[in-house]
Amino acid sequence: MQKIILTILTVFISTFISAAYKDVIKMELIEGCSAEKIVELKEEFMKVMKEKNYDYSAEVWTPVFSDETSGYVYWVGTAPDLADFGPEFTRYFNEVSKGNTQESKIEAGFDECRVEVSRSGFLTQ
């Protein structure tokens, strides 16, 4: 009986660990900034992700059918799984904190253009 319970628990946990992870950030645009500028910053971000072998990708979603069709965008990042997201997040923000890095320049651009309203994580299967 104990083996059956352990097997079921292992399968259940491994399902969540191996599910793709979505990092969703709701952003309010600062006056004078546009969704296009956020997309430009995202493209710079993705270039760094590729060059430095980060295992994370991102899209920018602009609301169309919503109460907030103006002034908001959503950053939707994807990591292979939740276990991979944590170290990649830490690695990226360690580079940001060093100052004169590509990552810190990108984050400075984001800081001039948006305010993070909320951030949520989701497992997708």
Number of domains in the chain: 1
Q: How far apart are CA 13 and CA 122, in angstroms?
A: 15
Q: What is the pLDDT of residues 35-61, one digit of tens each?
A: 999 999 999 999 999 999 999 999 999
Q: Is 68 among the domain residues?
A: yes
Other C-beta atoms closer than 10 Å to the C-beta of 115 total: 11
Q: Taking Cα atoms as reference points, which of 64, 83, 89 lies closest to residue 74?
A: 64
The CATH number linked to 109 is: 3.30.70.100
What's the mean pLDDT in 57-72?
A: 88
Residue 25 phi/psi, 5-degree rounding, is -120, 120
Given a cut of 50, whether residue 123 has pLDDT beyond it is yes
Q: Tell me if 93 is assigned to some domain.
A: yes
pLDDT at 23: 97
Q: Where are the alpha helices (DSSP H) in 18-68?
A: 35-51
pLDDT band at 107 (very low <50, low <70, confident <90, very high): very high
Output 77 or 3, whichever has higher pLDDT. 77
